[in-house]
Amino acid sequence: MNLQPTLADELVEIRPLLAKDREALYFVAKDPNIWEQHPVDRYKRELFDMFFDESLKSGGCLVILDKKTQQIIGSSRYKLLADFPHGIEIGWSFLARTYWGGLYNGAIKRLLMDYALLHFEHVVYFIDSKNIRSQKAVEKIGGKKASTASLGALPSTSSENMIYVASRS
């Protein structure tokens, strides 16, 4: 599977993260309210820069653009799971607050998940237990709370993370 595909629908375009995207993505990320339920305050410049550099190196990071304005509105990432060959992780996602809770967030999550499920049986989301907003968003698109017993050898995670899984129908 190409971990950095270009995906699009009528609302958004999702494409590989490029080094030149740093400032435009930071413009979105510098809103502290985006990070209030995340374990890391990536609105702080030094933490954002570490996140951005790691994202570039990951080989799976994507930026999300409003298709109409061509403005960067967020990012997400695919990650292969070494101990779980039938699944792929989607995570490290954030979105400008003006795009929360509506058509855009659902479109983004569906594009990413539908593409991943063409190649893998399961999509795995590790969501901080305090991040209720992300848990509800994943549930809206069919993600279900999972346990290692239900799927076998899921990768170990922090006890502060909830594991959600979406599977092929």
Q: Is residue 1 part of a domain?
A: no
Other Cβ atoms closer than 10 A to 93: 20
Domain of residue 82 covers 7-167
- Check which CATH number belongs to the domain holding 123 and give it: 3.40.630.30
Which residue, 40, 50, 60, 35, is CA-closest to 134? Answer: 35
- Longest CA pairwise span in the chain (Å): 45
Q: What is the pLDDT of residue 6?
A: 98
Computed over every residue of the chain, the mean pLDDT equals 89
Which residue type occupies 31?
Answer: D
The residue type at 162? M
Tens digits of residue pLDDT in 77-91: 999 998 888 999 999
- What average pLDDT does this structure show over 51-78? 97
Q: Is residue 139 a part of any domain in this protein?
A: yes
Taking residues 112-130, report their average pLDDT: 92
Dihedral of the CA atoms 21, 24, 30, 35 (nearest 10)? -60
CA nearest neighbour of 34 among 19, 22, 47, 15: 47
Q: How many domains does the chain have?
A: 1
Q: Does pTM top 0.85 for this prediction?
A: yes
pLDDT of 118 higher than 50:
yes
Give the model's confidence band at 158: pLDDT under 50 very low, under 70 low, under 90 confident, else very high. Answer: very low
